[in-house]
Chains A and B, each alone.
Chain A
Amino acid sequence: MRDGSPSGSHTASAERFRALAEHELPRLYALARRLVGDDAEDVVQETLLRAFRSFSQLERRESGREWLTSILVNCCRDHWRARGRRVEVVELDEVDEFSLFRKIADEDPFPYSDSVHLDFLHQFGTEDVRAILASLPELYRVPLVLVHMAGYHVKEVAYMLEVPLGTMLARLHRGRKLFERELWIYAEQHGLLKAEARP
């Protein structure tokens, strides 16, 4: 029998929220790890508390996943704000022209390889990728992670971050270029450009 009392409907609502959040925990945590690194647990916890408080505002149950992601992204932004933004100096012209494809072809780090570009990528593990992402300014890291790691469409991310599509495309482009350049720099600094670097 359905419980129509206010407390009964509130309890049912809390149960629905728990079911949604529990299901999404692994994905939210993975996303937070890529956005805020070691502070992921705190940010996910804050996301759960905020989301619970506004669960009644979720209009369509099927959009719960996107709704939680939006709250997580806002929590990340508040987290960065609270810690004080770094002054992020990026040589934009130089970055825009950088091509990792050409860099690898020109430098040829694995001369005996038939697939030097793929071999280059195979040197990196998940921890390496996370460290490289952490080195990117958040302005460019967030779109890169949301589009290419969390699988959102560029338009959804523009909506989520409340910026025009053109702005989002420009940030995404720069984020990819910065990521390419940082991959190369990281590989140089961590000795990954040697054939025997990793099995």
Chain B
Amino acid sequence: MITCSEAVRQLWDYLDGVVDPAHRELIDEHLAFCRRCCGELEFAEELRGFLASHSADDLPPDVHTRLRATLDGLGPT
């Protein structure tokens, strides 16, 4: 049996699939009865999606032109 703070500390690793099987089982057991930690888990998933959704950036045309010029200026390796 693990406490809420022990479970919460490992939730992201749990989602990343890097928790060893024994700890995973303990977290699963805890989540089976703890509603608050289920909420923490759902929110951790939302936060992961949130970070991923802010990962793209438009490459401004002027920056693209300059970087493209750098590439064009490279000679044979």
Question: Which residues of A line the B interface, CB within 8 A?
Answer: 7, 10-11, 13-14, 17-18, 21-22, 25-26, 29-30, 33-34, 41, 44-45, 48-49, 52-53, 55-56, 96-97, 99-102, 105, 117-118, 121, 124, 126, 129-130, 144, 147-151, 153-155, 165, 169, 172-173, 176, 179-180
Select which of B13, B59, B75 is within 8 A of A26 by beta carbon: B59
Contact of A22 with B8 in the complex, beta carbons under 8 Å? no
Mostly, the B contact residues are helix
Count, chain B residues at interface, CB 8 A = 35
| Min distance, Cβ B34 to any Cβ of chain A, angstroms | 13
Contact of A173 with B9 in the complex, beta carbons under 8 Å? yes
Question: Which residues of B line the A interface, CB within 8 A?
Answer: 5, 8-9, 12-13, 16, 18, 39-40, 43-44, 46-48, 50-52, 54-59, 63-64, 66-68, 70-72, 74-77
A-B contact pairs, 29 of them (CB 8 A): A13-B77, A18-B71, A18-B72, A21-B71, A22-B68, A26-B58, A29-B59, A29-B67, A30-B56, A34-B55, A34-B57, A41-B63, A55-B77, A99-B8, A99-B40, A101-B39, A101-B43, A102-B40, A117-B46, A121-B50, A126-B54, A126-B57, A129-B54, A148-B48, A148-B51, A149-B52, A149-B54, A151-B55, A169-B13
